[in-house]
Structure 1
Amino acid sequence: METNVLIILVDDMGYSDIGCYGGEIGTPNIDRLAANGARLTNFYNTARCSPSRASLLTGLHPHQTGVAELVNNDGPGGYPGSLTERCATLAETFRAAGYHTHMTGKWHLSNEREQPDQSWPTRRGFERFWGTISGAGSYFQTTTLHDGETPVPLSELGPDFYYTDEIGSHAAAAIRDAAEGERPFFGYVAFTAPHWPLHAKESDLADTRGLFDEGWDVLRTRRRQRQLDAGICTEDATLDRRDPAVPAWTDEPEQKWQLERMEAYAAQVRAMDRAVGTILTALDETGQAGNSIVLFLSDNGGCAEELRSDPEGAARFRQHHLIIPPSAPDGTPMRVGNSPDISPGTADTYTSYGQAWANLSNTPFRLYKRWVHEGGISTPLIVSWPDGGLSDGVVDAPHQLTDIAPTLLEATGVPPLAERDGHAMPALPGVSMLDLLRGGEAEAHDLCWEHIGNAAIRSDRWKLVREYEGPWELYDLAADRSESNNLADAQPERVKDLADRWQSWANTVGVIPYGDVLAARATRPNQPA
């Protein structure tokens, strides 16, 4: 029996939010997947949604795909912001090998969100697509929603529509339909949960009320202890102190509102887990669970973004994102931004959970989405393949998104696509993890990142990292995964060696200096995000 492939990607979820990585939210379906598979503790994304999707789906570094930041068109001096013709997606590769290909959920790899073009999923290998083209939006009134290339208007969504549930149902239907055919399938499920806005069904909110009442300080310590008990980052992380920008819970003046924010976020995670359960049930009931490789991961770390509630900030947000409905389904005006007078969760709000809770989500790391410190790029990765001879348990070797494509291609025997529309495809830079997942040794290789000028390289236990325009920092991740003890001044030769290797990688993959990107963007204002 041929092997199916299913990738489940979630959005803006921190390292420790799910139960099997230390969280208290309650994610039984994801935890069940982990119990029957491998959990990687040192796996990395690219710190942001669009570049992570580009790298995951092509096996290339995002700079090679045209999508190195978001979907802004910053050409000709910057990145085009849409998948270029000079890369092949996994959907195109598997489809060429005879697989049925389907996708549900968020695309966010095209700067054209209304008129289909060559960067849309339907033109990049997916025979079946139901989902959104843009990067975020209401869970109750989902904009840029398409069935194939046909827009789905808000008027057709119905009173009980909730995007996360619908993603699960449509993905399960695609799996069931594929089981009736004679071809194996490649499926890609891209949830928007738990990305802002904080929209949750009342039934899910009821399950999270009171869960965080002890506050972020106590909960962060408890998450860390559960990680230690489970073997997650046991000897290679210290518990970093609370983010200095975050007050102690006892000093927080708006505790009730803060709890409402995290309860809504957690309700979104619970809904996502329920949808994962719907998908796994479809695999079980069609007899495809054993011969299906299932991967579960997040596109970046917890998100500390605060949405402005002042009139100018809210208006600007609407203008640049075009993802906020004009009103709630009942006609109520939308209330945009983070303010204690806006309780999150309902369809007439548009809010986020903020820095303090993102700090909890990323336990035991520091910093957040957009940074290439551990809090921005560390993701849970669960790999399940019952018939594949994988070793169960915790895997600590470092890998990143570019290693997923070689792993899946080796596991299925599908060759990489050598040519697409007359263009020779670049060689995949990553290494296969298949032998490692079967109990073998990891293949040592450097891991490199660049995002909005933030840069990093990891070589075995050593990581060199910097924020844009700041100095290099050096950390020994074998003793200090939380990046608390900067050794750059004590080891200048190591800093120089790693910096030179990072620059060589940057030259190879086409990293554009961020100052040049900003200069190009200044000539093209009002780009969508």
Structure 2
Amino acid sequence: MSDTVQEPFAGRIGRTYRDSVPSWPSRPTSTGRPNVVFVVLDDMGFGSLGCYGSEIDTPVMDRLAADGVMFTNFHATALCSPTRASLLTGRNHHAVGMAYLSHVDDGYPGYRGRITHRAATLAEMVREHGYNTFAVGKWHLTPMDETTAAGPYDQWPLGRGFERYYGFLEGLTDHYFPELYSDNSPVPPPDARDEDYHLTTDLIDRSIGFVRDQTSMTPEKPFFLYLAFGATHTPFQAPADFVAKYRGRYDEGWDVIRRRRYERQLDTGVIPAGTQLPPANDGVPAWADLGPQAQRLYARFQEVYAAFLDHTDHELGRLVAYLEEIGRLEDTIVVVVSDNGASQEGGPHGVLDTTSYENGRFPSLAENLARIDEIDGRTAHVNYPLGWAQAGNTPLKRYKQNTHAGGIRTAMIVRPPRALADVPRGGVRDQFHHVTDVVPTVLDLIGIEAPGTLGGLPQLPIDGVSMRRTLTDPTAAIDPRAQYFETLGHRAIWKDGWKAVAFHRRGADYDDDRWELYHLEKDFSESTDLAARMPDKLAELVDAWWAEAEQNKVLPLDDRGFAERATVNIRPDSPRNRSRFVLHNGMHHIGTGAAPVVAGHPFEISAAIDRPADTGDGVLLAFGSVNSGFALLVRDGHLEFDFNHYGTHHITRTPQPLPAGGSAVAVRVEPTGQGTAADVTLLVDGEPAASSHLAETFEHFVAFQGLDVGGDRLSPVRAGGDGPFPFTGTLRQVVIELLDGGPGRGHEVND
């Protein structure tokens, strides 16, 4: 007996087809509804697009603004995963479980590092109505220890309503050596010898391909394309001709650029007359006070950032042109948004790797000057100094992670479809809106209601409001509302044109934080603090913040940094919660969020290998990227451990070659207790064969690119890396053991 559920049949079944009437089950249809394209930029400050006052060439996004509506009072959260959770669900980020990054589950309802299935994504909503759904680019919404072939897959894009996916699951990736996935499967890395490959180009190619295939077969069906670039998050990486275009343009420095952007914003109406340009943020020196070497170095960082954004705009232009070519652009809602403000994570001098910040270590001016020629190349993962992040956020204060405007007030553009004839084109809107408003706006424009239940689960209410009235009427008043903000203990609340905000220093008592008060309707840039003059108003807003925090699962407040939360506070059922890992040769690449937590712990990597006489070189295990990590390998018959410390290689090598045939090889790394120093021992058949001392290792975090067994397959970790250098002898498995039990508290698994 079949257990298949039978759908009602509306035809008639006779003895043969001649005396029967066929019938087919109905399918959901959205014929006539507009397509939807979300374009998400990463870490792009409010004043970075040309149409928002910048000198950077962004003609495609400027054109979208000219054909649509620019928002100047739009707010996101202060970090990427939380904003993306709100952008896709229309709910507040703590309320759906994404208080912080998807690397972290703190053990509290608002801090799960995943979006509850009680908060459907827009893809899940519109797919039920016949839309095809595609996601391309950065995801960063899956718990990172669930991004391996072992899954589970319910928080991958295909588990959250998207029918196709191509991109990377981490918070960032190398644009020349990306960690890529297609649907639920890893993608072989691009050929390292392909000098023309760039991830942004690849993402646009895939986006066009998805739309081309869908349009070829079902041109009457609408689609939802979620296109999330890696740009302009670190690492800044752009083709050489784009970098050359900006050479010398930033020699005048960040103070001149910031002032020009501010004046252009005033002239074009991006900011209202009377807006003040606040003093420099703490830690940002005047450009004129810098020495010529520092100026030369810092200008180089901004040249690459500008090229990165310009290149992204150029590539986006290919998608827009293709939609126009096939006649679908005029039937498409295009939303362009940044997930938060410009990043402060480059520190005072900028960084040439993505790991320094997470370990609380910023390079000196001298260190960066020694590598200045690498800034626009393949051997650096660049983020710019604080001064350029400040200019990126013109005219706002502070940065990404902060709840002052520089962290949460972002560029946002909506280009409506032709059918919305009542939307004046080319206008600017200054009404307050929040990232939770995007989903209800799209649902309103396409004529679909948010479901009360989905997949048998009752759904959380939508927190945002439709922006349709604002789109159609530049002078429309918005209804009274309050919107809270919280990231890493930084707090703020907007309520009916007023804002209270508290900057929080990590580890400080929250009761000691000083709340500031701004009347944003008259003070766009948060320049005049009214807290001392209006204590009653401030108290009203602070009380409102606590009420919103209680309602939205913001509590308990947590100001611990990324590295500590992602590598110490590990979920009990996480696959990382163990001290011994047996990794089999041939397994797919493991992202760093699922890799063993070795930084700060004594560990041993061991393998049994077999090398025929005079052969059998190659990498046994590689963890990291060109900027940081380590590799255990056999080179010219000798066992080597290459410790890549922010681009400086410390190589421990056996003086004697390995014996032919079978042998047991290992490396043991043991902290000395003096800072992050460690001793390294290479072992062959259980006996010490070479040793060295590392004066400094990684305190919390090895690298953002993960681990490979049997080769060095992505951004090369080892010195002089060119290609994967796979081990050519026999290697069945590699064992990583945390000798102190590690953060997994001694849990083990069997071989």
SS of equivalent to 1:473:
strand
Q: Distance in 1 between matches of 2:443 and 2:70?
A: 20
1:297, 1:381 within 8 Å by CA — same for their partners in 2?
yes
Select 1:256's aligned residue among 296, 302, 318.
296
Aligned residue type for 2:393:
N
Q: Distance in 1 between matches of 2:211 and 2:559?
A: 44
SS of equivalent to 2:238:
coil
Work out whether 1:510 is the aligned partner of 2:547: no
Work out whether 1:454 is the aligned partner of 2:490: yes
Q: Distance in 2 between matches of 1:520 and 1:212?
A: 37
Offset of residue 46 of structure 1: 0.3
Q: Give the match for residue 240 of structure 1.
A: 278
Work out whether 1:482 is the aligned partner of 2:515: no
Work out whether 1:524 is the aligned partner of 2:560: no
Offset of residue 235 of structure 1: 3.3
Q: Which has the higher contact order (CA 8 A, sep 6+)?
A: 1
Offset of residue 351 of structure 1: 2.1
Q: Give the match for residue 196 of structure 2.
A: 160
Q: Distance in 1 between matches of 2:488 and 2:358?
A: 23
Q: Give the match for residue 228 of structure 1.
A: 266
SS of equivalent to 1:464:
strand
Q: Give the TM-score of the pair, scaled to structure 1.
A: 0.91
Select 2:229's aligned residue among 191, 195, 205.
191
Alpha-carbon distance change, 210 to 435 in structure 1, aligned in 2, over 3 angstroms = same
Identify, as 1 or 2, the structure richer in strand: 2
SS of equivalent to 1:350:
coil
Offset of residue 156 of structure 1: 4.9
Q: Distance in 1 between matches of 2:203 and 2:367?
A: 27
Q: Give the match for residue 331 of structure 1.
A: none
Alpha-carbon distance change, 185 to 314 in structure 1, aligned in 2, over 3 angstroms = closer
SS of equivalent to 1:6:
strand
SS of equivalent to 1:431:
coil
Q: Give the match for residue 327 of structure 1.
A: none
2:486, 2:554 within 8 Å by CA — same for their partners in 1?
yes
1:42, 1:396 within 8 Å by CA — same for their partners in 2?
yes
Q: What is the 5 A alignment of 1:208-357?
A: 208-235=246-273, 237-253=275-291, 254-306=294-346, 339-343=368-372, 344-357=375-388
Q: Distance in 1 between matches of 2:428 and 2:201?
A: 30
Once the two structures are superposed, residues 237-257 of structure 1 have per-residue CA deviations (whole angstroms, 9 ceiling, x without a partner) of 311122241111112221111
Identity of counterpart residues, as a percentage? 37
Q: Give the match for residue 653 of structure 2.
A: none
Offset of residue 461 of structure 1: 2.2
Q: Distance in 1 between matches of 2:357 and 2:392?
A: 25
Q: Give the match for residue 404 of structure 1.
A: 438
Q: Distance in 1 between matches of 2:81 and 2:173?
A: 15
Q: Give the match for residue 81 of structure 2.
A: 50
Select 1:414's aligned residue among 444, 448, 458.
448
Offset of residue 451 of structure 1: 1.2
Alpha-carbon distance change, 492 to 318 in structure 1, aligned in 2, over 3 angstroms = closer
Offset of residue 414 of structure 1: 1.2
SS of equivalent to 2:329:
coil
Select 1:114's aligned residue among 148, 151, 155.
148
Q: Distance in 2 between matches of 1:309 and 1:225?
A: 27
Q: Distance in 2 between matches of 1:49 and 1:350?
A: 19
Aligned residue type for 1:65:
V
Once the two structures are superposed, residues 412-440 of structure 1 have per-residue CA deviations (whole angstroms, 9 ceiling, x without a partner) of 01121222332111110111100110116
Q: Give the match for residue 81 of structure 1.
A: 113
Q: Distance in 1 between matches of 2:258 and 2:359?
A: 37
SS of equivalent to 2:514:
coil
Q: Distance in 2 between matches of 1:273 and 1:516?
A: 35
Q: Distance in 2 between matches of 1:172 and 1:352?
A: 30
Alpha-carbon distance change, 309 to 455 in structure 1, aligned in 2, over 3 angstroms = closer
Q: Which runs of 5+ in 2 are unaligned?
A: 1-31, 361-365, 505-509, 577-591, 594-703, 705-751
Once the two structures are superposed, residues 140-175 of structure 1 have per-residue CA deviations (whole angstroms, 9 ceiling, x without a partner) of 0012x1111121122557442101111122112222
Q: Distance in 2 between matches of 1:425 and 1:515?
A: 27
SS of equivalent to 1:450:
strand
Work out whether 1:370 is the aligned partner of 2:410: no
Once the two structures are superposed, residues 40-83 of structure 1 have per-residue CA deviations (whole angstroms, 9 ceiling, x without a partner) of 10001101111000000011111122211111333424712122
2:98, 2:113 within 8 Å by CA — same for their partners in 1?
yes
Q: Distance in 2 between matches of 1:121 and 1:75?
A: 23
Offset of residue 513 of structure 1: 2.2
Alpha-carbon distance change, 480 to 314 in structure 1, aligned in 2, over 3 angstroms = closer
1:50, 1:70 within 8 Å by CA — same for their partners in 2?
yes
Q: Give the match for residue 23 of structure 2.
A: none
Q: Give the match for residue 491 of structure 1.
A: 534
Once the two structures are superposed, residues 470-490 of structure 1 have per-residue CA deviations (whole angstroms, 9 ceiling, x without a partner) of 121101112222222211121
Aligned residue type for 2:368:
S
1:488, 1:495 within 8 Å by CA — same for their partners in 2?
yes
Greater shift in the superposed pair: 11-20 or 498-507: 498-507
Q: Give the TM-score of the pair, scaled to structure 2.
A: 0.65
1:246, 1:356 within 8 Å by CA — same for their partners in 2?
yes
2:154, 2:160 within 8 Å by CA — same for their partners in 1?
yes
2:78, 2:401 within 8 Å by CA — same for their partners in 1?
yes
Alpha-carbon distance change, 118 to 296 in structure 1, aligned in 2, over 3 angstroms = same
Q: Distance in 2 between matches of 1:488 and 1:22?
A: 30
2:277, 2:525 within 8 Å by CA — same for their partners in 1?
yes
SS of equivalent to 2:370:
coil
Q: Distance in 2 between matches of 1:205 and 1:418?
A: 50
Q: What is the 5 A alignment of 1:91-106?
A: 91-106=123-138
Q: Give the match for residue 148 of structure 1.
A: 183
Aligned residue type for 2:240:
E
Select 1:438's aligned residue among 472, 489, 507.
472
Offset of residue 177 of structure 1: 2.5
Aligned residue type for 1:203:
D
* Rg comparison, structure with higher value: 2
Q: How many residue pairs align between the two structures?
A: 511
Once the two structures are superposed, residues 449-505 of structure 1 have per-residue CA deviations (whole angstroms, 9 ceiling, x without a partner) of 111111111123211111233121101112222222211121111111111222111
Q: Distance in 2 between matches of 1:61 and 1:156?
A: 41
Offset of residue 308 of structure 1: 10
Q: Give the match for residue 129 of structure 1.
A: 165
SS of equivalent to 1:455:
strand
Q: Distance in 1 between matches of 2:476 and 2:455?
A: 37
Please provide the CA RMSD for this pair.
Answer: 2.5
Once the two structures are superposed, residues 170-202 of structure 1 have per-residue CA deviations (whole angstroms, 9 ceiling, x without a partner) of 112222223221310111100010111121110
1:172, 1:282 within 8 Å by CA — same for their partners in 2?
yes
Q: Give the match for residue 171 of structure 1.
A: 207
Aligned residue type for 2:398:
L
Q: Give the match for residue 333 of structure 1.
A: none
Identify, as 1 or 2, the structure richer in helix: 1
